[in-house]
Amino acid sequence: MDKPLIQVKGLKKYFKTPHGMLHAVDNIDFEISKGRTLGLVGESGCGKSTTGRTILRLLEPTDGNIFFEGEDLASFNKSQMEEKRKDLQIIFQDPFSSLNPRKTISQTIMEPMIIHKLYKTKAEMMEKVLEIMEIVGLAERLVNTYPHELDGGRRQRIGVARALSLNPKFIVCDEPVSALDVSIQAQILNLMKDLQKELGLTYLFITHDLSVVNHFSDEIAVMYLGKIVEKATSEELFNNPCHPYTIALLSAIPVPDIHYKSNRIILKGEITSPIEPKKVCRFANRCEYATERCHSEEPELIEISEGHQVACWMDVVEKNAKK
Amino acid sequence: MNSEKELILNIKDLKVEYRTEDGVVKAVNGLDLEIEKGKTHGLVGETGAGKTTTALSVLDLIQSPPGVIVDGIIELEGKNIRGLKDKEMEKIRGNDVSMIFQDPMTSLNPVMTIEDQIAEVIEYHESGGYKEAIKKTHEMLTLVGLPPKRGKEYPHQFSGGMKQRVVIAMALACRPKLLIADEPTTALDVTIQAQVLTLMKNLRNQYDTSMLMITHDLGIIAEICDKVSVIYAGRIIEHGNLVDIFDNTRHPYTEGLFNSLPNLKDRKAKLKPIKGLMPDPTDLPTGCPFHPRCDYAMDICSKAYPEKQYRNDQHFVECHLYNDDNIEKGGLIKRG
C-alpha cells in the first residue's frame, strides 16, 4: 500500500447552536493515497461538505488530526496554512454562486497566483492562465468574459481551472457536477478524470449521487449523521454493501433500465437531528433490523474483510464477514 | 394516429416565445403531446429544452410579458382550453389540472399554516365551506403520510421531504384529472425521493390520475412512466413507450442522454458526453436543431427539419437518419 497523501484521524467538527452542540462531523478517520479518489457520500445534512471544508481548514476542526504528507494541518498557524493552501484546493458545487460576478475568467484564474506571488511578470501569469484554460477546455476567446455570459458547464470549468491554478496535489470536489445537466456532467467528470491521470491529482469527491461516485471513485465512504458507517472499495461497496443504510441508499437509486428489478427498501422517516446525539447507533430509529443493543450502544467501524469496514451491530454483517 | 385511445390532454403544434430585449427566445417550437387517460407520461430533457414552459402553457401560467403562446391547440378532454378567460381558467387550475413544482421550499406560503394552505384550494373549488375543507385536508395529510395534527404548523417546521408531501396533498386535494409534476423529486435526497416516488405511484394507482411527469432523470422515467417523450429545443424529437425508448432508441440525442449516464454495472466505462452545448434559443440552428452536436449529421440536417418517422403505432423519431426501410432495423447507432 502506498503511503497516504492525506490521513484524517479522529476529526470532529461541532457547531454551537442555541439548543446545544451540533455534531456535524463526529470522530471520523480515513486516508487517501496519492493519485486516488475517495468518494464521500451521504444525504444532505450528514456532514460531508463540512468534512471537506474542515480538512482544508476553511472551518476550524474541533478536534482531530489532518496529516498531509506527514505534517498535521490541524496544528498549523495561519501563515503556515496559507502557504500550504497551494497544495490543497477545492471545487464548489454551484458554479453560479462560487464565482465572483465582477471578475473575468482570466482574473478569476489569476487571483490565486497573485495572492501566492507565483509569477514575477504579468506576461508569465497570462501565459499560465491560457495554458490552464486550454487544459480545462475553455476557448481562448473567452478570456475576458464574465461568469454571467457563460453557461453552467463552462462556469464549472472555470471552477476547475481556478483550483488548478496553483498546481495543487489534493482537491476537495464538493458536489462538482450536481448543478449540471447530464450531458454536461459527463463532460466535466471526464475532464476531472483526465486531469487526475495527467497531473497525478488526489481527490476527495463529495456527492449525494451514488452512480456518479461509483463511476468516479476508487474507494467510497458512506456518511450518516456525522459518522462514517461503511467504507470499502467502490466495487466491494456496490457488490457487497453491509450496513443497512448503505443497502437502502443503493436500492433507492432509480436505474435507467426498464428490465431492472429493484428491491427497493423504503426507509422510514428522515435524518434525525445531529444536535447532542446520544451515544447509540444514529441510524437505529430508521433501521428495520435495529435491536435493543442498537438503541443503547454505539457501534464502531470494524473491518469485516480487507479494506471493508462497517459500523453496525447487526448479525448479518458478521455473517457476511465470514463468507 | 388512431382515435380509439382516450386522451386527457392533447397539445398540438404548440409554439411559445419569450419576447425579451435581447431577442425572441423560442422556447417551444411546434410541440405535439398526447397524454392518455390514466397513463403516466414522461417528458424528459435538459435545462432549457422547454419542459417547464410546456407545462406552464397548459395551465396558462406563462409569465406575460415576456411570454406569449404564439400558436397551437391545448385540449383537455377534447375541449380547447387555450385562451380561456381568467375566471374559467381558475376553475380548471387546481381542480381539473394541478401542478407540483420542483422546489417544495419555495412553493409553499411561509406565513400560512399547512392545513390552511391545503384547505384554501378545497374551499375555492368545493362548496362545503372552511370546516368541511379542513376535514378533507386532514384526510389528505393522512393519505400522504403526515399526521393531521401537524397541520397547524408552518412550512419552516417541515423537512424537504415532508414539504413535498404537503405540496402533493395540495395538488391532489380536489382529485384532479391531470397532475403535472415538474421535477417533483429533484430537490430531495435519494432515500426521500424513493419515499415520494412510491407515494406518487400509490396515489396515482388509487385514484387513476393521469400524470405528466417532467424530469431529467431517465431512472425515474423507467420507474414510473408508461410513455416517454424526449424534448429538445422545444420539440418532441422522439416518443414511444418504455420499450421503444429504452430498448429501441433511435434518435442520436436520446442515445447521447443514455451514454452520458454513469453505468452502474460497468464502472470503468468511460462516459460519452454529447459534444457541445444546448443551442441558444434566441438563435436556433437551421434544419434539425441538434445537428451541430450530432455525430451522425449529414448535409440535409442543417437544411431541413426532419419529418416524423414512425417505427410503430406510437414510436416516432424526428431524424433524417431514418426512412421507412431502416427505421425498424435501426442499427445506425449502437448503444456503447
Whether A192 shows a pLDDT value over 90: the answer reads yes
A183: nearest CB among B161, B247, B260: B260
Write the Ramachandran bin of B64: left for phi over 0, alpha for psi from -120 to 50, otherwise beta.
beta
In a domain, B45, yes or no: yes
8 Å CB contact of A270 and B192: yes
Q: Name the average pLDDT for chain B.
A: 89
Q: What is the signed CA dihedral for A226, A232, A234, A235, rounded to 10 degrees?
A: -150
Assess whether B197 and B161 both reside in one domain: no
Work out how many CB contacts closer than 8 A connect A with B: 115
Q: CA-based diameter of chain B, in Å? A: 67
A276-307: string of b/e by CB count within 10 Å (b at 16+)?
ebeebbbbbebbeebeeebeeebbebeebeee
Q: Which of B145, B175, B205 is the C-terminal boundary of a domain?
A: B175
3-state secondary structure of B207: helix
- The number of helix segments (H) and strand segments (E) in chain A equals 11, 12
Buried-state track B192-209, b at ≥16 Cβ within 10 A, e below 16: bbbbbbebbeebbeeeeb
B190 and B299 share one domain? yes
| Phi/psi of residue A218, nearest 5 degrees | -85, -40
| pLDDT per residue as tens digits for the range A261-302 | 778 888 887 777 888 888 899 999 888 888 888 999 999 999
Higher pLDDT, B274 or A271: B274
In the 3-class helix/strand/coil scheme, how is A70-124 assigned residue by residue? CEEHHHCCHHHHHHHCCCEEEECCCCCCCCCCCCCHHHHHHHHHHHCCCCCCHHH
Residue of chain A nearest B270, judged by CA positions: A190
Q: What is the Cα–Cα distance from B87 to A15, expressed in whole angstroms?
A: 52
Say yes or no: B198 contacts chain A, CB-CB below 8 A.
Answer: yes
Residue where a domain stops, chosen among B175, B202, B229: B175
Q: Within an 8 Å CB–CB cutoff, is residue B261 touching chain A?
A: yes
Q: Which chain B residues in 56-115 lie under 8 Å from chain A, judged by CB atoms? A: none
Report the range of poorest mean pLDDT among A158-172, A232-246, B257-271.
B257-271
> Domain range holding B48?
37-60+83-96+178-336
Query: Does the beta carbon of A258 lie under 8 angstroms from any beta carbon of chain B?
Result: yes
Closest-CA residue of A relative to B189 is A43
Q: Chain A neighbours among B 268-287 (CB < 8 Å)?
A: 269-274, 277-278
Cell of A107: 482574473
pLDDT of B1 over the 80 cut: no
- Check if B50 contacts A (Cβ < 8 Å): no
Q: What percent of chain B has pLDDT over 90?
A: 59
* Cα separation, B301 vs B307, whole angstroms: 11
Q: Would an 8 Å CB–CB cutoff place B264 in contact with chain A? A: yes
Residue of A nearest to B146 (CA): A269
Do B228 and B161 share a structural domain? no
Helix (H) or strand (E) holding B194: helix B190-207
Summarised one tens digit per residue, pLDDT across range B185-234 is 887 888 888 888 888 898 888 888 999 999 989 999 999 999 999 999 99
Query: What is the model's pLDDT at position B265?
Result: 77
Task: Count CA atoms within 13 Å of residue B18 on its CB side.
Answer: 17
Asked whether residue B230 is domain-assigned, the answer is: yes
C-alpha cell at B119: 384547505
B216 touches chain A (CB under 8 A): yes
CA distance A116 to A111: 9
- Per-residue pLDDT, B332: 55
Please name the member of A185, A189, A270 whose beta carbon is closest to the beta carbon of B159: A270
- Closest partner CB to B264 (pick from A151, A182, A255): A255
Q: In the prediction, which pLDDT does B336 show?
A: 40
How far does B265 lie from chain A, in Å, by closest CA? 9
Name the residue among B195, B205, B233 with its Cα closest to residue B25.
B233
Contact A287, A245 (CB under 8 A): yes
Chain B contact present for A264, CB below 8 A: yes
Contact yes or no for B247 and A258 at CB 8 A: yes
Looking at the fold, whether B209 and B311 belong to one and the same domain comes out as: yes
Whole-angstrom Cα distance, residue A176 to residue A189?
9
CATH of the domain at B221: 3.40.50.300
φ, ψ of residue A229 to 5 degrees: the values are -100, -20
Q: How many CB atoms lie within 10 A of CB B335?
A: 10
Q: Do A183 and B273 touch (CB under 8 A)?
A: yes
Tell whether B160 and B271 lie within a shared domain: no
pLDDT confidence of residue A150: 87
Same domain for B140 and B188, yes or no, is no
CB spacing of A235 vs B267 below 8 angstroms: yes
The DSSP output letter for B280 is P
> What is the rounded CA–CA span in Å between residue B54 and residue B33?
10
Q: Is residue B280 part of a domain?
A: yes
Q: Does B159 touch chain A (CB under 8 A)?
A: yes
Domain assignment of residue B156, yes or no: yes
Question: pLDDT, tens digit, for every residue of A131-172?
Answer: 999 989 888 889 999 998 888 888 999 999 999 999 999 999
Q: Inform me whether the pLDDT recorded for A323 exceeds 60.
A: no
Which pLDDT score is estimated for B28? 94
- pLDDT tens-place string over residues A53-98: 999 999 999 999 999 999 999 999 999 999 999 999 999 988 888 8
Cα gap B184→B215, rounded to integer Å: 8
Give the cell for residue B223: 420507474
Distance CA B83, CA A269 (A): 44
Sorted by where each begins, the domain ranges of chain A are 4-87+168-246
The string of pLDDT tens digits covering residues A92-142 is 988 888 899 999 999 999 999 999 998 989 999 999 999 999 989 888 889
Q: List the single best residue of A258, A264, A286 to mutate versus B (max B Cβ within 10 A).
A: A258
The pLDDT confidence band at residue A205, using thresholds 50, 70 and 90, is very high
User: Taking 50 as the threshold, does the pLDDT of residue B335 lie above it?
Assistant: no
Q: Chain A contacts of B193, Cβ < 8 Å?
A: 252, 254
ipTM of the complex: 0.81
Looking at B146, B175, B204, the residue that finishes a domain is: B175
Type of residue numbered B47: T
Whether residue A3 is predicted with pLDDT greater than 80 in this model: the reply is no
- What domain count does chain B have? 2
Residue to substitute from B260, B293, B294, interface A, most A β-carbons within 10 A: B260
**Average pLDDT score over residue span A311-316:** 79
This prediction has a pTM of 0.85
Mean pLDDT of B8-16: 95
Yes or no, beta carbons of A254 and B219 under 8 Å apart: yes
Q: Is the pLDDT of residue B2 over 70?
A: no
Please report the DSSP string for A22-81 in residue order: EEEEEEEEEEEETT-EEEEE--TTSSHHHHHHHHTTSS--SEEEEEETTEEGGG--HHHH
Strand order in the sheet with A88-91: A88-91, A170-174, A202-207, A37-41, A219-224, A227-233, A308-310, A302-305
Q: Shortest Cα distance from B237 to chain A (angstroms)?
A: 17
Q: Which residues from A are below 8 Å from B270, CB to CB?
A: 190, 193
For residues A229 and A283, the answer to whether their CB atoms sit within 8 Å is yes
Do residues B7 and B79 lie in contact, with contact meaning Cβ atoms separated by under 8 Å?
no
Question: What is the CATH number that goes with domain A4-87+168-246?
Answer: 3.40.50.300
How far is the alpha carbon of B54 from chain A, nearest alpha carbon, in Å? 19
Q: Do A183 and B198 touch (CB under 8 A)?
A: no
Cell of B168: 402533493
- B147 and B222 assigned to the same domain: no
